[in-house]
Structure 1
Amino acid sequence: MATTTTRAIFPMIFGRRYADKLTDGASTPLKLVRLQIEQKVNGDFPFIHQIATTMTFKNTHNIILEGAFEFTLPEKATICGYGLDVDGVIVDGVVVEKQAARIIFEKEVRKRIDPGFVELVTGNVFRTRVYPIEPQKTRTVRVIYQDQSIADNNTNGFLYQIPIQFQTQLESLDVVLTCFGQAITKPNFLIDSNQSINNYPQFIDNGNGQYTAEWHLTNVEPSVNSEQTLSYILSNCLKPVISAIEKDSNVGAYFAVSCALPIPNQQRIDQLDILSKKICILWDASLSRSNSKENRILELNTLKKFFDIWLKRYNQIEIILIIFRNDMDEKILFQLQTNNWNKFLEIFQDLPYDGATNLSQLSSINLMQPINYYFLFSDCISTINNNSFIENLYSNFKAPIWIFNGNYLHEPYDIDFIRYLTQYNEYGGGYLNREKLELNSNDLINIIETIQIKYMKIHSSSSVKQIYPSNSITIPLNLDRFLLVGQIPIPLPNSIQFEIEFSMNNQISRLSISLDMSFNERNSFGLIRRLWAQQKLNELNAFKDKYKSDILSLGLEYSLVSQFTSLLVLETLQQHLQYHVCPAKSRTLLYNQYMQYQTIENNKKPNNISELIQKWNQTCQWYDHVITDIDRHRAYLPKVPQPSSFPSPPSLFGFTTIGHTSAFGGVPTIPTAAFGSAPTATPIPFGTTSMTNQTTTQYFPPSSTTTPVFGGIAPTSSSNSSSFTGFSFSTPSTQANTAINVSNESSLSKTEETSTIVLNEHNPQSSYITRISSSHNRTSAYLIYLNERILNRQSPSFYFDVASYFFSPAAFSSILDKFNQQQENIQIADKKSIEYGLRILTNILELELEAPQLYRTVAYKLMELKQWNLALSVFQKIYSLRSDEPQSLRDLAIVLIELGQYDQALQYFKQILNEIWDARFTTIQTIVLLDLNRLLVLMNKNVPEIDSRLIRHLPVDIRIVIQWDTADTLIKLSIKEPTGQICDGYSSYRTDIGGYITNLGFQSDQPIEYLLRKAVNGIYSISLTYMTNAQHTLTGVTTVLVYIYKYFGSINEEKQIQTVRLTNLNQTIDIGHIEFGDSNLEKLKDELQKSKDECHRLQNQLINSKQSIQSNMQHINITCDGCSMSPIVGDRYKCIFCPNVDFCQNCQSSTNHQHDLKHPLICIRDSSLYASSIYLQNISELIHLNIRCASCFVSPIVGVRYQCMTCKINLCEKCEFLGLHDILHERLKIIRPQ
């Protein structure tokens, strides 16, 4: 049965939206209207075939769109061709480095020009992107890939499977199959191989050994109950050895050999004479595996097939179960016997499939006891990765690894990782896909218990090279044939002989191969050459990070889509010349024109450090400007517009050209006034302490109190000496004086003033948060979340909002405290809430593979939570996807500073200053200079390779930096100063007291920064406004990361980080404010605190005195549920929510009982006074059968029931008590069940 996958594998659309409409989903479906498939098989070497899929998409919207289509390919397929319709003609693409292809595509989209490209996303998932698709019009793309056939011993032939995947009705479906060769027989279709194609014709003999079969169908519905795959067999062509050779003018020749393998009939040596079985089950419980309960049942049923056979041999099976997702659960030990399988299944019955997939955790598994088999249940697509884990994965796995995947064959899986685990592991193993899992018990047990054949090497006296596999590998399970490819150098011999060596149970066998070089190339069209490249690529992909340059070179040379190469289509000669992309040779005229223009000198604009220095000088000039008392007085007066001394803002989204800058590579020769002159012998004193390596995983939420990040040492108030020491780079004497004064100025402000950062809590006002917050503890809240997830599965905002709720320290505070309005702030969220929150947050990574916007959404929240190590892993992934964006490097550097890895952070900052960036990123280098100079203070280091004119530390009282996760988007940062002036980069970017916005309005480049050197007393309010979004996507919800620094760059620097989601255009959110005050106000606060402390002391004294003379009242027939006192003597405490639960005065605040401490308790002095009250009765007898609470979903309702007369819904006592329903609605209070 077809399933709905969690990860987006379907057409998606991107486009210019209406001005007031934003959507939240990771992607939106695009309609596929026509599908054409052409397949070719060379019967002389039928082991491989080529398939061309031509897809036509229609834009059913009334706006111009960018289209994207994600699709999966078979396990052994490789894309080797891509085309896009230009003026009604399919134009061939050319291979380009993957990042370069994306960058070129996005640049051309911003120009509203027609590009298109196809890329490998991950695993077997590919994506093609096309722009533009006009309203109600269509665009056509063609993808060509090469696949391997399957040996079929029953017919002594080869089986060909052609996937025909579509999810909506097609206007037309055209299929053309062609088989040709010298001695092939007529192909035969498998009966009922595809339910969506009925009455298909037979193959027709066209003569000359060529057969064709064609379909031309209209209004075709997708198959519902089966895989959409067309299968046929080319019989009587299966020989023990099949070989093919293809000449090449540069290499000499490529050859491929497909040989039959001996059928092993012995058990593995390590499985003989075993007295018991020890199995380690690694169960992936991430969100991507929540797609179908049926698939998980299939996997468990297959597991039972193995265990049923083994339990006939052994008394029991020892199972170590490890459940993992974004993190790993504690291992579960289970002794499986013949009568407790159902008990074992209970572990999986209510198991939540939630969170990202983190396969890097497998490398940390180290079991002391010997294991017979590792069973991994996963699609092996990891959305959280540690890049170094794969190199050390085998160190602790000393047993065969078998991978189970019950998903359908067309769904995503990472075949490279699967090959790495199963073929390069000396202990063997294999991959059991859905097709294998449906085999019977005997066939399955034979697969994993029968010996596996290993390819060792070849023995050859002939001149052959570049043989693949190049190393010993375990041949995959149930594979009847082995494929070997290689090259034969020039001069070509008449024949080649060599032997292939195999190993079975440590016994060596050799197979002799002879290749005749007198071959016929009549039907050769590059398949063997490309097959060789594909086999080499498969081997390199197992260690893709290690062999990145080799994979890139291979893809570029052989026109393959790989992890690091894509196929790109450009329309005009100007585009090809601009990006130095040679057109495909099939475009003869354009290719010849391009080659002619190659003699023209490259007019690339030279690197120019002067532009960066000029921008940095502007910042320094602002910093050196003296703000007088007159300026501060003028700030409070009505404003008269003043002419700006700064440049006018460029056009929207940076469409004008701005020069690129660099900070390294040249020695400055001309000093700059006021900074950059001759060196002095006196170092600038700055920075007495260094930051410690903070890797805590606790979450410290925003509050009125913050922690200094420069060590927390109290600053000196001396005006003659600075608080900082250690800078050794040189500056002129005038600059040294300025710097010292600046440091003292900041220090004085800190001794005479106090400041507070107050961040607002942002409630998304969504119905699902209301329902989740009605729960009484985190476990029930999590269950309600899982129920709400059904309707919000593809919404990033849903996971972001719910995760934020779990991270909120007050989310699960005492209900009794809320009732009494005496709740105290909790500064650290509990461990379980953080665990749930991280699990829910990382679900965003599962929604769409390799989507930088979603990765940034998660990473920004992790920074707010101070989850630095996890944030580092996510930012490293972002950089691999968006290395062309300097913000990716800055994010990495900021996180590394928090982790104490200063040297690496410094290298990233230098890279930002040194490299040439797109004109969209005009302001980030000056912002990075503030970060870099702060880092140099922390490191107490002089870096001579940085131009000395860029080294000057600028400590300020306030620094606010914002950045966001969507491109081509305008976010306005507004700071309302105590004077009433607003600094926002639009109406004003400078204020009278010195406030300064570094980014001018109408620029989409980020980050945006607000600086204030010396703050005046008062409140600085911070707000964000979602101005515009010019993306070509229908998704527009934006996550904004806000840094708020107090006394930036000073010894007692403090910082707050917050993330917010902007969901609507023109939406404004108040982030919070910063308070600055004088010492008198601080004294008043101290006196107030002392008064509060004295009040608390007197209250405690009164309570203690009352306890000493407590009542001796007895509550007859009432037993304490804490200490079992009966009757209760003294005050009686009865729970409002729980039926028949009472405590004595000693147990009511104890934690030694199972009762929920957050439930409100009623204090009863004398039970006899309230004997007739319903609340003093045993309300557990009041059971309202078949009645369900509309808020917390409890059923049946026990106790008093409330029925809303307006909405006709029912509420339990707890939900009515909490006031979760509209208080204006009339209720009917029902005590006795009806």
Structure 2
Amino acid sequence: MGLALRSIGLLALLCWQLPSAHAQARRFPPPRPPILQVAGAEVPVRLTEARIDSRVMAGLSETTIELTFHNPNARVLEGQLAFPLAAGQQVAGFALDIDGELRDAVPVAKAQGRQVFEAIERRQVDPGLLEQTAGNQFRLRLYPIPPRGERRVRLVLRDSLPTVSQGLQWSLPVFFARQAEQVTVKLEASGTGKPVAVGANPLGFTVKTGAYVAQWQGRGADLPAQLQWSLPLARSTDVVTGLHEGQRYLLASVPVRASTAPRVLPRRIGLLWDASGSAGSRDRAAELAVLDRYFNALGTGQVQLTVLRDRSETPQQFPVTQGDWSALREYLRALPNDGASALGDWTPNPAIGEYLLVSDGLANYGSQTLPTLSPDQRLYALSSAGAKTDTPRLRAWTGAHHGQLLQVSSEAEVPGVMPLLLQQPVDVADVVARGVEDVNVDAASATQGWVRVTGRVLRPGATVLLSLRGGGSDPQPITLDVANARGVEGGLVAHAWANDRLAALAADPSGAPASKVLAQQFGVVTADTSLLVLETLEDYLRYGIRPPAPLRAAYDQRHALTVADAVTERKRRLDGIARQFAEREQWWNTRWPKDAPPRPKQESRSVAAPGAMAMAAPPPAPAASMALDRVEVTASLVAEQADASSERLAKSAPKANSGQITLTLAPWAPDSAYARRLRDAKPAQLYPLYLQEREQHAGSSAFYLDVADLLLASGQRDLALRVLSNLAEMQLENRHVLRVLGYRLMQAKVPALAVPVFRQVLAMGEEEPQSFRDLGLALEAAGQYEAAVASLYEVVVRPWDGRFDGISLIALDELTRLIARERVDASAIDPRLRRAMPLDLRVVLSWDSDNSDMDLWVTDPNGERAYYGNRLTYQGGQMSQDFTGGYGPEQFSLRDAKPGTYKIEANYFGSREQLVTGATTLMLRLSTQWGSRDQRDQQVTLRLKDRAETVLVGEFEVK
């Protein structure tokens, strides 16, 4: 069953850097020019044309970027355009050319967008997907880019311009265009003074119809590294409104007296220091410079340090004496950056006056919720990670606790951000809204003398009364009158309100459903919402996605029929599963012969029906290539069962064996040079040696897996789990890597850590039944039985792609066994699917790579091999359906095992995709007396070389 291996060129586009953004201004060091690359392609893809149109009004900007790519190669390519944006900038639109016309994308849930894109990509038609990855970084996926052809893409970016002392700061994202052969730039600014260029700038503004306009054409290489202007702004309250889908929204820019009074710092400060693996991309020198000024202002006090990685470390106390914090500084400098980011895994101390979190905000492990602080405890945050910062999360957390987010990209920026930390903030004392709902007040720019207000207007005569306080002065009363507001065309004002609401909801994970609805309503790309373009109306109907306006009427007319068809299909599928389950019951109830088979039969590659007898010729016993490690697993004679009919049948049928079963496992060890060096080290030297080796292998998930295994074997469990958790840091949006992490956490017997990992996998890959099954098994191991049943039942009842046929029956075995053993409520389960069928022997094989072909082989004492071509053996061993498309699982079941030796092997045919761990990883679960109270399990993880091979996993010895 060999598989043809197909190489798909991957387009890595536009790799650059953007600096951080903070309340004072965005300081942009010149970004690196974009680089267009095609992995394995003969000729790079060219950016032939770029058009940038940007307009500014009411302190908001909208920039439309149209890019044309040319593929000079003779083969189809998939494109990936990865780009970061500064804080405040947001993707608000995306279009892709379909049949020569640009088609607008529609907002979808992020998981659904990815699922649909990958499913349609397999059919080699035209999808386009734009999604947010980590922090304020985005990725656009295109397929196909035709051979010697072009694709056009349009992006729409919106931005609330940051305030500076002179007014507003307008920065144009020219990094999109600097590799283009031809560039056109058009600019328009209204409602401000004439734009003043900052640095080298080829554009000059003229007045046209009440606005300042500019235009430029040329080569992208002739553009400066950055284009930036200051927009003079009168220091008076500016109130504007905008209409979106019949609803009016309010935006007000309010000048306030900036606070210059120093803030009284508490004597006890909590420092939350993120020392996870991603901390290596932060500027530690800049962060320490902020702390130096902070503790100098403190003078004398006490700092409680909590180091955050995959879990929080025990808090430590450090003194600050007259600004001297040298002991703490040296401790921070010596900390290795390692492990995942569990930013919610710490316990607040009520004696602490305020906390400072130093982190990029990328929480990727454990709880996503900030621990509850006392009402009088402030929270500040500091990040130097630039566009890799999860700005919405950190702003929401600090804003909810009367603090601020400080962002720096170098030590030179430190003086500019210190007022946010050391001066008395401007707080909102009171808000009284009449005729306005969902009011948001953003005081982040108050240090520059501005406060922004947004809201949803319910009636024309609406007003908002603000009372602001800060700097030791009395509250400042401010009245915003909607009746006198000027109108602004387009969706800029509504988009600004939506962004403020999303920022407010980001403080609490419970607001995620509301955030998702809001983001989809306004077409905003967020951590939970993406933009998707499909090629045909049939594609939109197939996946239940309402298309853009030109296709909407036809979609609405046909969609109702599609929904009715889905209900019918679900019932038809459940009936089919019930029939297959009845056939398995018939197999389980059959008394299979335990004597020697009457005659050998040649192996056939055709799949035997479950109810048919099939026998293969005994294969020659291969020479043992490795010693076996013995693991004693014994069980009682009779399986304990909850299902009464199953129990009676089991007791009435004589057993073929005494119930004594021994499992031996084949040892496996990586043979890389670094693995040999680590194995030769003493236990105390393992972790320091790992840190030395890490720089050369930081991009290899296999490296972390191997090191974690060695640390576990040496008894250093906490360090092993830390090293293993680095997989959560490597590729935040790669469910394949996270799935391997979850499997390894299960193997390490920490299901409580595996459950949130598998929840992330499910969120990314709901179209794969393995995601529900993996989560269900982890929930069971964590003792959450009802949730486990619900997750496993989804595998049974949902309709799946044809390449996943067979997994439903395997999950159903696991579901019925769980219900019977743990007495879980089964009322929601179809009555036809509730019978538990315990087994003497059960082996399940899974693997970590999609589009890969793996086979489970079990050879019994008769010398007969059960495999995909011989699914039913003479003594009743049954093999599940063959999985040739990836992940598995494949299952071997034997109710009553004949005494003797059972050899378990895995046969690998090959993979059609780039492997995330460098080689396919196998996960095997071998069980004796499966489904009874005496069930014993062993989990085995093996990593194969990237070639076809057969691996001995272990043996059962049945007596």
TM-score (norm 2): 0.87
Aligned-partner SS, 2:663: strand
Q: Does 1:101 align with 2:113?
A: yes
Equivalent residues in 2 for 1:490-529, closer than 5 Å: 493=460, 495-504=461-470, 507-516=474-483, 519=486, 524-529=489-494
Aligned-partner SS, 1:799: helix
Q: Which amino acid aligns with 2:81?
A: F
The verdict on how the C-alpha distance between 1:393 and 1:913 changes in structure 2, with shifts beyond 3 A counting, is same
Q: Give the distance between the partners of 1:500 and 1:261, measured in 2 at CA.
A: 11
The Cα shift of 1:794 comes to 1.2
Q: Could you tell me which of 377, 397, 413 is aligned with 2:358?
A: 377
Higher mean Cα deviation, 1016-1025 or 1049-1058?
Answer: 1016-1025
Q: Which residue of 2 aligns with 1:1010?
A: 892
Q: Which residue of 2 aligns with 1:209?
A: 211
The Cα shift of 1:148 comes to 0.8
Q: Which residue of 1 aligns with 2:707?
A: 802
Q: Which residue of 1 aligns with 2:126?
A: 114
Q: Could you tell me which of 991, 994, 997 is aligned with 2:873?
A: 991
The Cα shift of 1:153 comes to 2.3
Equivalent residues in 2 for 1:532-931, closer than 5 Å: 532-543=497-508, 545-585=509-549, 588=550, 590-591=551-552, 593-594=554-555, 597=558, 603-604=565-566, 605-606=568-569, 607-608=571-572, 609-630=574-595, 632-634=596-598, 637=600, 639=602, 646=609, 704-706=630-632, 715=636, 724=640, 726-727=642-643, 737-741=648-652, 745=655, 749=657, 752=658, 754-778=660-684, 780-809=685-714, 830=715, 833-931=716-814
Contact 1:13 1:1034 in 2 (8 A): no
Q: Does 1:531 align with 2:526?
A: no
Contact 2:80 2:140 in 1 (8 A): yes
Aligned-partner SS, 2:934: coil
Q: Give the distance between the partners of 1:382 and 1:343, measured in 2 at CA.
A: 28
Q: Which residue of 1 aligns with 2:404?
A: 430
Q: Which amino acid aligns with 1:930?
A: D
Q: Which residue of 2 aligns with 1:86?
A: 98
Aligned-partner SS, 2:377: coil
The Cα shift of 1:232 comes to 0.9
Q: Give the distance between the partners of 1:478 and 1:840, measured in 2 at CA.
A: 42
The verdict on how the C-alpha distance between 1:975 and 1:421 changes in structure 2, with shifts beyond 3 A counting, is same
Q: Could you tell me which of 217, 221, 235 is aligned with 1:239?
A: 235
Q: Could you tell me which of 276, 282, 285 is aligned with 1:286?
A: 276
Q: Could you tell me which of 389, 401, 412 is aligned with 2:379?
A: 401
Q: Which residue of 1 aligns with 2:286?
A: 298
Q: Give structure 1 stretches of 5+ with no counterpart.
A: 19-28, 193-198, 650-701, 709-713, 810-829, 1079-1234
Q: Give the distance between the partners of 1:359 and 1:381, measured in 2 at CA.
A: 8
Q: Which residue of 1 aligns with 2:195?
A: 187
Contact 1:151 1:238 in 2 (8 A): no
Q: Give the distance between the partners of 2:606 and 2:547, measured in 1 at CA.
A: 51
TM-score (norm 1): 0.68
For residues 222-272 of structure 1, give each alpha carbon's deviation from its aligned partner in whole angstroms, at most 9, with x where no partner exists: x9xxxx64311222x333211212245633x2221111122223344x54x
For residues 960-1013 of structure 1, give each alpha carbon's deviation from its aligned partner in whole angstroms, at most 9, with x where no partner exists: 11222333322211222233222221x322222222111136454732111122
For residues 86-137 of structure 1, give each alpha carbon's deviation from its aligned partner in whole angstroms, at most 9, with x where no partner exists: 3454321112233322222122111111101112334323222221234576
Contact 1:13 1:67 in 2 (8 A): no
Percent identity over the alignment? 23
Q: Give the distance between the partners of 2:393 and 2:197, measured in 1 at CA.
A: 33
Contact 2:275 2:338 in 1 (8 A): yes
The Cα RMSD (Å) is 3.6
Q: Give the distance between the partners of 1:404 and 1:202, measured in 2 at CA.
A: 38
For residues 757-798 of structure 1, give each alpha carbon's deviation from its aligned partner in whole angstroms, at most 9, with x where no partner exists: 2222222211111222232333x2222222222222211112
The verdict on how the C-alpha distance between 1:466 and 1:341 changes in structure 2, with shifts beyond 3 A counting, is closer
Q: Give the distance between the partners of 2:641 and 2:948, measured in 1 at CA.
A: 47
The Cα shift of 1:11 comes to 9.3
Q: Which amino acid aligns with 1:538?
A: A
The verdict on how the C-alpha distance between 1:846 and 1:229 changes in structure 2, with shifts beyond 3 A counting, is farther
The Cα shift of 1:175 comes to 5.6
Q: Which residue of 2 aligns with 1:1041?
A: 923
The verdict on how the C-alpha distance between 1:793 and 1:134 changes in structure 2, with shifts beyond 3 A counting, is farther
Q: Which amino acid aligns with 1:783?
A: P
Contact 2:792 2:811 in 1 (8 A): yes
The verdict on how the C-alpha distance between 1:781 and 1:449 changes in structure 2, with shifts beyond 3 A counting, is same
The Cα shift of 1:320 comes to 2.1
Q: Give structure 2 stretches of 5+ with no counterpart.
A: 1-14, 20-32, 613-627
Q: Give the distance between the partners of 2:34 and 2:359, measured in 1 at CA.
A: 21
Q: Which residue of 2 aligns with 1:319?
A: 303
Q: Give the distance between the partners of 1:1060 and 1:626, measured in 2 at CA.
A: 35
Q: Give the distance between the partners of 1:488 and 1:343, measured in 2 at CA.
A: 54
Q: Give the distance between the partners of 1:1043 and 1:30, measured in 2 at CA.
A: 46
Contact 2:921 2:942 in 1 (8 A): yes
The verdict on how the C-alpha distance between 1:856 and 1:645 changes in structure 2, with shifts beyond 3 A counting, is closer
Q: Which residue of 2 aligns with 1:466?
A: 438
The Cα shift of 1:861 comes to 0.6
Q: Which residue of 2 aligns with 1:1183?
A: none
Aligned-partner SS, 1:935: helix
Q: Which residue of 1 aligns with 2:171?
A: 161
Q: Which residue of 2 aligns with 1:982?
A: 865
For residues 707-751 of structure 1, give each alpha carbon's deviation from its aligned partner in whole angstroms, at most 9, with x where no partner exists: 67xxxxx73x6xxxx6636546xx5xxx76424335x63xx73xx
For residues 489-508 of structure 1, give each alpha carbon's deviation from its aligned partner in whole angstroms, at most 9, with x where no partner exists: 3xx53x54432122336953
Q: Give the distance between the partners of 1:599 and 1:933, measured in 2 at CA.
A: 35
Q: Which amino acid aligns with 2:424?
A: I
Q: Give the distance between the partners of 1:220 and 1:756, measured in 2 at CA.
A: 74
Q: Could you tell me which of 317, 320, 324 is aligned with 1:333?
A: 317
Q: Does 1:1061 align with 2:927?
A: no
Q: Give the distance between the partners of 1:994 and 1:924, measured in 2 at CA.
A: 20
The Cα shift of 1:85 comes to 2.7
Contact 1:913 1:925 in 2 (8 A): yes
The Cα shift of 1:858 comes to 0.6
Aligned-partner SS, 1:394: coil
Higher mean Cα deviation, 966-975 or 282-291?
Answer: 966-975
Q: Give the distance between the partners of 1:963 and 1:42, measured in 2 at CA.
A: 54
Q: Which amino acid aligns with 1:301?
A: A
For residues 527-547 of structure 1, give each alpha carbon's deviation from its aligned partner in whole angstroms, at most 9, with x where no partner exists: 11222222222222222x323
Contact 1:372 1:399 in 2 (8 A): yes
Q: Which residue of 1 aligns with 2:455?
A: 486
The verdict on how the C-alpha distance between 1:1015 and 1:479 changes in structure 2, with shifts beyond 3 A counting, is farther
